Chains A and B, each alone.
Chain A
Amino acid sequence: MSAADTLSAADRSQVSLRSPNIVMRLNRMGAFHQCRLSFMRTLLRRMKREGWVFTRPVFDIDEKGVGVAVYSAKGPERTYSLVSFAHDLPPEQRSDRVIAHAWDATFALFDGVPTNADIDRLSRNVPKQEAGRVSETELTLLRANRSVRLFEHVVACLAEGRQPDREQVEMVGYLMRTTAVYGSGKFGAADYEAIADRPEFFAPFQAEMLSVFLARAFTLDLAEHLAHCRAPDMAVEIAPDLRRRFGVGNSTGLGLAPFLVNHPVLLNNWIAAREEALVRVRALTDVEAPDVQAFHTMLGRAQRNADDWHSEHPLQIEKLEALHADLALLEAHVQTNFPDGDRPWDRLYEWAEMTLTIEGQEQLVSLMLEPYGSLVDDLTDTMGADEDAAFRIDAAMPLDQLLALVEEIYSWALKIDWAAPGNVARVWYVSAEKLEPRLGERFEEPVEPYEQPLAPGRDATAMHRDIDAWDGHPNVAAFLLRHPEHRHMVRRAQIAARYPYAEIRDNTVSSDLLPIDLLRCKLSFFGANHFDPRSDRWVRINMFQNAPFPDEIAGDDADDWSYPSLTGDGS
């Protein structure tokens, strides 16, 4: 960071935000990468800045791996504790699906330090997950399963007094993967509104990220503990540099995709923050040498990140090939042509728009923010949302004004033939089986009566048709009294008029839909990398890989781990 990293309002106004018609397309959202504004990074920066203290007041787990542990994180004003239950799960019951009923580990984030009575209460509820109840003193509820490939290997090696095989560790990347992380009032937990006034929760999903961060420490402690139980005289601990290579896996199914459609203001605020950050960097008139050097370093680390990124899925393999090629082109370009001109970052971005695939363009956007923490990190405080403030419909609006909004925001949808079966092939629905969100085939399965309102393009087109045909009183109130079926769509259109990045500008029920695009968008804002689709609607990621552990935050750079280091070890 240098003196030139400040921006005048006049300079800022020289560069425009990218249009939602470019940004809010599914193929681009499915190419997003984590960046400085991602929620995991925001959490660790805050904990470092505020000097959070971490303890493990309880670790009562037997030689079979059954018991309870508590991990506490103490901030300036409050303490949060992850109450962690370890179970002995028969292998045949292990499934990452929502429909599973038992897990290797279950957790709740407790608001404060739990008493024995609290732990006892939680021990009767948390292991049951949805079938139990938590209370307003709990902020999150989560569960995790062991990696069959890695967990036993690590325990066995440690018990024999040697380090686990590095290649195997790097191939899998985690000892456990979370299969659900619930927050905000789920199963009786505290509503987000009840904690929203705490600065540590201004940025989105901070309680969830803190839970996963502490769960990561638990998974390593558990493996080392089991090795020690197996061979008390022989067992060793994992070497610190190898330890960093373990993150927490996360298995994400369809449930996250409807979230983005159901929370348009929140989606806007995430995207708008990243787009504003991009503009601030593009608008810089000078680039100082230390920032150029920082960018070169991060570009090299991004290349290593791409090298470490494995997937068996054909779509992801194709994307990875594009990313490798783009990064090579980018490196060659910046070696000779950067910085150049009045606004070097702007020129670089425009070059990328003309030269790279969307995958490479979005990687560049994230990399361009890296040198400029003091210019962009304040935007994390704008990424939460007061959704209630945008909920009420402005029904005094003249209908012709609503029509104009629809024609501007949904112009892409008005061009689609919604009578063509392929354009409405899919149905989003919720199954009675544990309320699992699913995607069905409209013309092959009897699921249409249960359709969720997750096709705004189709619904906007239907509303447009009915407004055109309307001959009653020409305002929204009169129209909606006769057409209550358009009420959710009026709300969406008015929200999208105020929040430009609120609406996905693509068909979300087409036969071509890839739900993994929606999942990757959301997970990139969490801070994930190495997206590994397991199908068109299921993604695995790794969280906090290479990050410092709780006891290392005070003595380490808490925000220098998102890309692997160039020196071979994790960070």
Chain B
Amino acid sequence: MICSLNEIDVMGKRAARGAGYSWGLAEEAGKAVRWLSAFGLPGPESLANLLLGKDGVNYDDFAPVWSDAPWRAPAGLLCPLVAGPALCDRAAEIAAGKEFTLETTALPLLLAPFAAGVAKLIRKPVLLSWDSVEIGFSAAEASIPDICETLTVPTTNSVVCKLAATGIDAVPGRSTSREVDLGTWKALGEFAGRTFAPATEASRLTGAGAGLHDND
């Protein structure tokens, strides 16, 4: 189906919240998925794959520990929806030349919007790389390679985020992708559905408070 970027953003936020992320992280997950769709990348699909694979895992198991050493999750697999915002949070250190290495990480493509956020925050070009993929980011653009298996891998052993030595050449012709696979949308919808209170007659009568009569 064809979705607006706003719908993709809201669905991403609700789905992440439904999967147990805090509201602040869920807000950033929504924006990340939107960013990927705006750059023609499989945002909703990546999020659905991540959530389906990680459902029920505790935050403490997949969040990095505060450290200068390579980031590692206590349970072995870093979550990009936690590591991504954490990278953004350390943008000033990246601007000062620090390189961050993330050990085993799920869906590294979901880190791309956050690396873009770092570049925007520090107004300097930033590089994000894993396996054979290297993506460059400037304040408003990104050099994203063609969609391939490596770009959308479910896990990678190592991701690096650092300042780019040179400027970024944006890849021309990449257009926004508003098309979302129905199965993906349904999967995200099921996570999002957990944030909605079940309909009850009492809530129907009082919760919205139409009051008096609404047909006059």
Chain A interface (Cβ within 8 Å of chain B)?
91, 94-99, 133, 135-136, 145, 147-149, 184-193, 251, 253-254, 312, 388, 391-393, 395-396, 429-433, 435-440, 445-447, 449-450, 453, 472-473, 476-478, 480-482, 484-491, 515, 533-538
B110 at the interface (CB under 8 A from A): no
Is there contact, CB below 8 Å, between A133 and B211? no
Residues of A within 8 Å of B178, CB to CB, are 136
Is there contact, CB below 8 Å, between B21 and A186? no
Instruction: Please pick, from A185, A388, A477, the residue contacting B86 in the complex, using a CB distance under 8 A.
Output: A477
Q: How far is the CA of A277 from the CA of B41 in the complex (A)?
A: 44
Instruction: Please pick, from B120, B121, B195, B204, the residue contacting A430 in the complex, using a CB distance under 8 A.
Output: B195
B131 at the interface (CB under 8 A from A): no
Among A185, A254, A391, chain B packs the most CB atoms within 10 A around the CB of: A185
Residues of A within 8 Å of B146, CB to CB, are none
CB distance from A136 to the nearest CB of B (A): 7
Is there contact, CB below 8 Å, between A148 and B216? yes
CB distance from B201 to the nearest CB of A (A): 10
Is there contact, CB below 8 Å, between A431 and B4? no
CB distance from B68 to the nearest CB of A (A): 11
B7 at the interface (CB under 8 A from A): yes
Known: A432-B196, A433-B203, A473-B66. 17 other contacts (CB 8 A): A91-B215, A135-B2, A136-B2, A136-B178, A185-B6, A185-B7, A188-B2, A254-B209, A396-B91, A430-B197, A433-B204, A440-B207, A449-B197, A450-B195, A481-B89, A534-B211, A538-B214
Residues of B within 8 Å of A189, CB to CB, are 4
Is there contact, CB below 8 Å, between B4 and A185? yes
Smallest CB gap from B195: residue in A: A450
Smallest CB gap from A516: residue in B: B209
Is there contact, CB below 8 Å, between B214 and A96? yes
Smallest CB gap from B198: residue in A: A432
B150 at the interface (CB under 8 A from A): no
Instruction: Please pick, from B21, B64, B66, B214, the residue contacting A97 in the complex, using a CB distance under 8 A.
Output: B214
Given A191-B6, A484-B22, A537-B208, verify A438-B203 contact (CB < 8 Å).
yes
B88 at the interface (CB under 8 A from A): yes
Is there contact, CB below 8 Å, between A440 and B31? no
Mark B171-187 against chain A: 1 for CB-CB distance below 8 A, else 0: 00000001000000000
Residues of B within 8 Å of A192, CB to CB, are 6
Residues of B within 8 Å of A388, CB to CB, are 31
Smallest CB gap from B215: residue in A: A94
Given A392-B121, A396-B91, A430-B196, verify A481-B66 contact (CB < 8 Å).
yes
Q: How far is the CA of A433 from the CA of B211 in the complex (A)?
A: 18
Residues of B within 8 Å of A432, CB to CB, are 193, 196-199
Instruction: Please pick, from A145, A392, A449, A486, the residue contacting B88 in the complex, using a CB distance under 8 A.
Output: A392
Instruction: Please pick, from A149, A188, A391, A478, the residue contacting B7 in the complex, using a CB distance under 8 A.
Output: A188
Is there contact, CB below 8 Å, between A481 and B63? yes
Interface residues of B in 15-72 (CB under 8 A from A): 21-25, 27-28, 31, 59, 63-64, 66
Is there contact, CB below 8 Å, between A395 and B90? yes
Nearest 6 pairs of A and B residues by beta carbon: A487-B24, A535-B211, A185-B6, A438-B207, A185-B4, A395-B89
Chain B interface (Cβ within 8 Å of chain A)?
1-7, 21-25, 27-28, 31, 59, 63-64, 66, 82, 85-86, 88-93, 117, 120-121, 178, 193, 195-199, 202-204, 207-212, 214-216
Is there contact, CB below 8 Å, between A392 and B120? yes
Smallest CB gap from A150: residue in B: B216
Among A135, A190, A440, A536, chain B packs the most CB atoms within 10 A around the CB of: A440
Q: How far is the CA of A185 from the CA of B216 in the complex (A)?
A: 31
Is there contact, CB below 8 Å, between B196 and A435? yes
Among B5, B90, B209, chain A packs the most CB atoms within 10 A around the CB of: B209
Q: How far is the CA of A480 from the CA of B59 in the complex (A)?
A: 12
Q: How far is the CA of A489 from the CA of B24 in the complex (A)?
A: 8
Q: How far is the CA of A393 from the CA of B21 in the complex (A)?
A: 17
Among B1, B121, B216, chain A packs the most CB atoms within 10 A around the CB of: B216
Residues of A within 8 Å of B6, CB to CB, are 184-186, 191-192
Residues of A within 8 Å of B204, CB to CB, are 99, 431, 433
Residues of B within 8 Å of A392, CB to CB, are 88, 117, 120-121
Given A395-B89, A431-B196, A484-B21, verify A97-B210 contact (CB < 8 Å).
yes
Instruction: Please pick, from B2, B22, B210, B214, the residue contacting A488 in the complex, using a CB distance under 8 A.
Output: B22
Is there contact, CB below 8 Å, between A491 and B91? no
Residues of B within 8 Å of A481, CB to CB, are 63-64, 66, 86, 89
27 A-B residue pairs with Cβ-Cβ distance under 8 Å, sorted by A, are A135-B2, A145-B215, A184-B6, A185-B7, A188-B1, A190-B4, A253-B208, A254-B207, A391-B27, A395-B88, A436-B207, A449-B197, A477-B90, A478-B66, A480-B89, A481-B66, A481-B89, A484-B24, A484-B63, A485-B22, A486-B24, A487-B24, A488-B27, A534-B210, A537-B209, A537-B211, A538-B211
Smallest CB gap from B2: residue in A: A188
Residues of A within 8 Å of B25, CB to CB, are 484, 487
Residues of A within 8 Å of B198, CB to CB, are 432
Residues of A within 8 Å of B2, CB to CB, are 133, 135-136, 188
CB distance from B24 to the nearest CB of A (A): 2
Among B22, B28, B198, chain A packs the most CB atoms within 10 A around the CB of: B22
Given A485-B22, A486-B24, A538-B208, verify A472-B197 contact (CB < 8 Å).
no
Is there contact, CB below 8 Å, between A445 and B203? yes
Residues of A within 8 Å of B59, CB to CB, are 484
Residues of B within 8 Å of A482, CB to CB, are 66
Q: How far is the CA of A534 from the CA of B211 in the complex (A)?
A: 6
